[in-house]
A and B are shown apart, each in its own frame.
Chain A
Amino acid sequence: MENTEKISIVLALICTLFIAAGQLLFKIGSAKIVDIISFFNLFVIGGAFCYGLGAILFILALKKGELSVIVPLMALNFVWVGILSTIYLNETLTLVRWTGIIAITTGVAIIGKGGKNGS
Chain B
Amino acid sequence: MAASLWAILLIIATTFIGAFGALFFKLGSKTFSFHPMKLIKNYHLIIGFLLYGISATLYVIALKGGELSVLYPIVSIAYIWVSIVSVKFLGEKMNANKLTGIAIIIVGVSLIGIG
Which residues does A use to contact B, with CB under 8 Å? 23-24, 26-27, 29-31, 33, 39, 44, 47-48, 77-78, 81-82, 84-86, 89, 91, 93-97, 99-115, 117-119
Are the C-beta atoms of B100 and A100 separated by less than 8 Å? no
Q: What residue of chain B has the Cβ atom nearest to residue A97's Cβ?
A: B115
* Contact for B60 among A26, A99, A113, CB less than 8 A: A26
How far is it, in angstroms, between the C-alpha of A19 and the C-alpha of B63 when the chains are bound? 15
Name 15 A/B residue pairs within 8 A (Cβ), A-sorted: A82-B69, A97-B115, A99-B115, A100-B113, A100-B115, A106-B108, A107-B103, A107-B105, A107-B107, A110-B104, A111-B97, A111-B102, A111-B105, A114-B95, A117-B97
Could you tell me the distance between the alpha carbons of A31 and B107 in the complex, rounded to whole angstroms? 29
Residue from A47, A91, A117 within 8 A of B69 (CB atoms): A91
Residues of B whose CB lies within 8 Å of any CB of A are 2, 56-57, 59-64, 67-70, 72-73, 76, 79, 83, 86, 92-98, 100-115
Q: Is the CB of B104 within 8 A of A30?
A: no
- Residue pair A118, B92 in contact (C-beta under 8 Å): yes
Q: How far is the CB of A95 from chain B (nearest CB, A)?
A: 8
Known pairs A100-B108, A103-B107, A110-B100; list 11 more (Cβ under 8 Å). A23-B68, A39-B60, A39-B61, A86-B69, A89-B69, A91-B68, A95-B115, A96-B115, A103-B104, A107-B103, A108-B76
